[in-house]
Amino acid sequence: MKSPEISLSFRRIATAQCGATIVAATLWWLGAIIGGFGMQNATAGATQAGILLIISLIILALFSPSKKRPIATVSTLWSATSFIRFLVALGGSTLLYYSAQFGLRSLMFSFLLTAVFLLIAETKTLANSLSEYSITTND
């Protein structure tokens, strides 16, 4: 028996990643300004979110979600891709820390905030894609 195959929408996942990053950066920016943490913390967090977005989009392109793959392979590859993205983003954050001399706490918390928003948005997008596939195969 052949395993069912699925392809994911690059545009849908990239849009979810962009939206999640914008929300995280906006929350960080507003929190830093309203909380009185200063412009440097607001800038550090927004820059961190931008780096995470760029890394996420590059890794998404390398993953090539529009390629048809067995469903079990897609979920395994997506988990591996998320782990690799997390490690690469940490590396990029480290470079940002050393090159821009932003505070470590700002970068760490902004990284975590953006990473959580990215994971939630991607999980919701993937779950919707798999649900749509399930509905079409059951009809």
Mean pLDDT per 10-residue segment, the chain (139 residues): 82 95 94 88 88 92 89 84 86 76 75 90 88 70
Find, among 85, 51, 81, the residue nearest to 64 by Cα.
81
Q: What is the pLDDT of residue 100?
A: 67
**Residue of 44, 32, 24, 39 lying closest to 98 (CA atoms):** 44
Secondary structure class of 126 (helix, strand, coil): helix
Residue 21: its pLDDT value, please?
95
Strand boundaries in 9-111, DSSP class E: 69-70
118 and 20 Cβ atoms separated by less than 8 Å: yes
Instruction: Please give the pLDDT value at position 135.
Output: 73
Query: How many Cβ atoms from other residues are within 10 Å of residue 113's Cβ?
Result: 20
Confidence at residue 101, expressed as pLDDT on a 0 to 100 scale: 67
Entry pTM? 0.84
Q: Please state, in angstroms and rounded to a whole number, the distance separating the CA atoms of residues 44 and 105.
A: 10
Write down the residue that tokens 């996942």 correspond to. Answer: 13
